Amino acid sequence: MTDQELHDLVVKISDDYFKKPFRHKAFFNPRLRTTGGRYMLRSHNIEINKKYFEQLGEDELIGIIKHELCHYHLHIEGKGYKHRDKDFRDLLKRVGAPRFCSTLPEERKRKSRQRIIFYQCTSCKLIYRRKRSINTIKYVCGKCRGKLAKVKDMTVE
């Protein structure tokens, strides 16, 4: 699918589901990594992550477009366009748009193999479990202010 085909699809979905025109640009952004799409407040353009179309298909792409069009139309009308706003949640339900996009298969693999690091206080023996390593010189035990020592580093599936 090209950027022009994506733009035409966004215009069609806007007309069919929202009964309003889409007057800005819609295109694929290869730099998007953690989200399916993005509505730009200043330019009113919509950017879509092409990986979601390639890995999850056209139905997922249509859901992402509907979600971003909810942001677009509500922002243009001056209504609540943010995820927590009632206007936004109501419009999502009305057009059948998902609140969040699905997780990519490659992200599921990465999330299933998580690194866990255990630290233990040398004074009170309290164990801390962390996903990221911490500077044991800078940080101390929250309970007794004792020194922390790295106990174990493991990968969990």
Look up residue 72 and give its two tokens: 């677009």
Tell whether residue 73 is among the known ligand binding residues: no
Active-site choice (58, 60, 68, 106): 68
Tell whether residue 7 is among the known ligand binding residues: no
Catalytic: 68? yes
Active-site positions read: 68
Binding residue ranges: 67, 71
Binding residue ranges for Zn(2+): 67, 71
